[in-house]
Amino acid sequence: MIENEISSKIIGACIEVHKELGPGLLESSYEHCLAYELRNLGLNVKQQIALPIIYKEVKLDAGYRIDLIVENTIIVEIKSVEDLAPIHTAQILTYLKLKDLKLGLLVNFNSVKLVDGLKRVINGYL
């Protein structure tokens, strides 16, 4: 399955979760529901993946955790904030670089319309 097909399924699942729950819940609530929806679509989903930093050839646990990795290809970072800020884009871009992945989705479930809180981030491009 190619990245665009996978990302379309992820976005559809995000919309479904947002329709059911609406805005205003904790990020962890959206994460668990989204993981459930994605697994029901037959996708491989990993949650809360520890992301060490390699510093001078040593792996260091710096406390980074990726919300979801779908099909070992796409990072999904979930937010429930008033507005997405540049730091949120920087966060997912950092995760993409550290995992050497190309595509990430930044999803703010606290948006009235989910489409307004959805951002595709591509490693190497802003």
pLDDT tens digits, residue range 51-85? 988 889 888 888 889 999 999 999 999 999 999 99
Domain count, the chain: 1
Query: Could you tell me which residue, 125 or 83, shows the higher pLDDT?
Result: 83
Q: Which residue segment(s) compose the domain that 20 sits in?
A: 3-122
- The rounded distance, in Å, linking the Cα atoms of 86 and 34 is 24
What's the length of the chain? Answer: 126
Write down the pTM of the prediction. 0.91
Give residue 14's Cα distance to chain centre: 10
Q: 2: which DSSP letter?
A: -
| pLDDT-based confidence at residue 125 (cuts at 50, 70, 90) | low
| pLDDT-based confidence at residue 18 (cuts at 50, 70, 90) | very high
- The rounded distance, in Å, linking the Cα atoms of 6 and 16 is 15
Query: Could you tell me which residue, 124 or 55, shows the higher pLDDT?
Result: 55
Given this model, what pLDDT does residue 1 score? Answer: 58
CA distances from 72 to 58, 69, 76, 96 (A): 23, 6, 11, 12
